[in-house]
Structure 1
Amino acid sequence: MFPHRNEVFLMTQYVIDQMLEQVRESIRSQDQDVFRKLFLGWHENFQMQVIMQLYKHERMQLYDWLAANELAGVFQEMEYEDQFFTLKEMEAAQAAAVMNEVSADDAAAFIDKLPITARKESLLKAMDAKKADDVKEILSYPKETAGAIMTKEYLEIFSNQTIAEVMAFLRKTGQDVETIYYVYVVNEAGHLAGVVSLRDVIVHDNKTIIEEIMSTRVVYADDDLDQEDVAKIIQTYDLLAVPVVNKQKHLIGIVTVDDVMDVLEEEVTEDIGEISASKGSTDTNLSAFQAAKKRAPWIVLLMFLGLITANVIGRYEETLEAVVLLSVFIPLIMDSAGNTGTQSLAVVVRSLATGSYEKKGIAKMLRRELGTGFFMGLICAVVLVLTVSILYNHLLLAVIVAVSIFLTLSVAALIGAVLPLIINKLNIDPAVASGPFITTLNDIIGLFIYFTIATSFLEYL
Structure 2
Amino acid sequence: MAEQIEQLDQTIQLLSDLLQSGQDHEFIDSFEALHDFEMAQVYAELPVQFRAVAWRLLSIAILATVFDNLAVDEVDIVALLQEMPPQRGAQVLQAMYTDNAVDLLQEMSPRQIATYLSLMPKSEAESARQLINYDDQTAGSLMSTEYLAVKEDLRVDDVMRLVKKQALEAESISYVYVLDRQGLLVGVISLRDLLTHPDNLPVSEITNDRIISVSAGDDQEQVAQIVADYNFLSIPVTDDDQHLLGVITVDDIVDVIDEEAVEDYSGLAAVNVSQINDSPWHSAIKRIPWLIALLLLGMATATVIGSFDELVKQAAILAAFISLITGTAGNAGTQSLALAVRRIAVGSEHSGWQDFLSEVLAGLLVGLATGASVFVIVTIWKHNLILGFAVGIAMMMAILVANLAGYLIPLIIHKIGFDPAVASGPFITTLSDLTSVLIYFNVAQLFISQLSGS
State the TM-score, normalized to the length of structure 2.
Answer: 0.92
2:324 aligned with 1:354, yes or no? no
SS state at 1:154 partner: coil
Distance in 1 of aligned mates of 2:6 and 2:159 = 46
Distance in 1 of aligned mates of 2:375 and 2:4 = 54
2:262 aligned with 1:272, yes or no? no
2:212 aligned with 1:204, yes or no? no
Letter matched to residue 313 of structure 1 = I
Query: Could you tell me whether the CA contact under 8 Å between 1:281 and 1:294 is conserved in 2?
Result: no
Distance in 2 of aligned mates of 1:411 and 1:28 = 67
Pairwise CA distance, 1:286: 4.6
Distance in 2 of aligned mates of 1:340 and 1:288 = 32
2:108 aligned with 1:86, yes or no? no
Query: Could you tell me whether the CA contact under 8 Å between 1:373 and 1:410 is conserved in 2?
Result: yes
Pairwise CA distance, 1:56: 2.2
For this pair of structures, how many residues does the alignment match? Answer: 449
User: Alpha-carbon deviations, 1:434-457, whole Å to 9, x = none?
Assistant: 222222222222112111111111
Query: Residue 332 of structure 1 is aligned with which of 316, 324, 338?
Result: 324
Distance in 2 of aligned mates of 1:249 and 1:342 = 43
Distance in 2 of aligned mates of 1:22 and 1:311 = 64
C-alpha distance 300-14 of structure 1, shift in aligned 2 (>3 A)? closer
2:60 aligned with 1:73, yes or no? no
Query: Could you tell me whether the CA contact under 8 Å between 2:262 and 2:273 is conserved in 1?
Result: no
**What residue is the counterpart of 1:6 in the other structure?**
none
2:277 aligned with 1:301, yes or no? no
Distance in 2 of aligned mates of 1:10 and 1:181 = 34
Pairwise CA distance, 1:195: 1.1
**What residue is the counterpart of 1:423 in the other structure?**
413
C-alpha distance 423-28 of structure 1, shift in aligned 2 (>3 A)? closer
Query: Could you tell me whether the CA contact under 8 Å between 2:265 and 2:273 is conserved in 1?
Result: no
Query: Residue 214 of structure 2 is aligned with which of 221, 235, 257?
Result: 221
C-alpha distance 13-297 of structure 1, shift in aligned 2 (>3 A)? closer
Query: Residue 94 of structure 2 is aligned with which of 84, 91, 100?
Result: 100
Query: Could you tell me whether the CA contact under 8 Å between 2:44 and 2:80 is conserved in 1?
Result: no
Distance in 2 of aligned mates of 1:340 and 1:416 = 8
SS state at 1:176 partner: coil
**What residue is the counterpart of 1:440 in the other structure?**
430
Pairwise CA distance, 1:276: 2.8
Pairwise CA distance, 1:163: 1.8
C-alpha distance 345-247 of structure 1, shift in aligned 2 (>3 A)? same
Pairwise CA distance, 1:60: 2.1
Pairwise CA distance, 1:416: 1.6
Query: Could you tell me whether the CA contact under 8 Å between 1:281 and 1:295 is conserved in 2?
Result: no
Q: Which runs of 5+ in 2 are unaligned?
A: none
**What residue is the counterpart of 1:61 in the other structure?**
53
Distance in 2 of aligned mates of 1:193 and 1:283 = 43
Query: Could you tell me whether the CA contact under 8 Å between 2:222 and 2:346 is conserved in 1?
Result: no
Distance in 1 of aligned mates of 2:304 and 2:449 = 20
**What residue is the counterpart of 1:4 in the other structure?**
none
Letter matched to residue 15 of structure 1 = Q
**What residue is the counterpart of 1:367 in the other structure?**
357
Distance in 1 of aligned mates of 2:5 and 2:296 = 48
**What residue is the counterpart of 1:194 in the other structure?**
187
Query: Could you tell me whether the CA contact under 8 Å between 1:152 and 1:254 is conserved in 2?
Result: yes
Q: CA RMSD in A?
A: 2.3
C-alpha distance 289-453 of structure 1, shift in aligned 2 (>3 A)? same
2:322 aligned with 1:320, yes or no? no
Distance in 1 of aligned mates of 2:352 and 2:125 = 47
**What residue is the counterpart of 1:3 in the other structure?**
none
Letter matched to residue 84 of structure 1 = V
Pairwise CA distance, 1:336: 1.2
2:127 aligned with 1:137, yes or no? no
C-alpha distance 308-198 of structure 1, shift in aligned 2 (>3 A)? same
State the identity %: 34
Distance in 2 of aligned mates of 1:424 and 1:28 = 56
SS state at 1:184 partner: strand
**What residue is the counterpart of 1:110 in the other structure?**
104
**What residue is the counterpart of 2:162 in the other structure?**
169
Distance in 1 of aligned mates of 2:296 and 2:2 = 49
Query: Could you tell me whether the CA contact under 8 Å between 1:281 and 1:291 is conserved in 2?
Result: no
Query: Residue 35 of structure 1 is aligned with which of 23, 27, 34?
Result: 27
Pairwise CA distance, 1:131: 2.0
User: Alpha-carbon deviations, 1:357-416, whole Å to 9, x = none?
Assistant: 2x1333443333333333333332333234333443333222211221122112222222
Distance in 1 of aligned mates of 2:51 and 2:284 = 36
Distance in 2 of aligned mates of 1:38 and 1:415 = 58
User: Alpha-carbon deviations, 1:232-260, whole Å to 9, x = none?
Assistant: 22112211111111233211101111111
Query: Residue 18 of structure 2 is aligned with which of 26, 29, 33?
Result: 26
2:450 aligned with 1:457, yes or no? no
Distance in 1 of aligned mates of 2:286 and 2:49 = 38
Query: Could you tell me whether the CA contact under 8 Å between 2:139 and 2:220 is conserved in 1?
Result: yes
SS state at 2:140 partner: helix
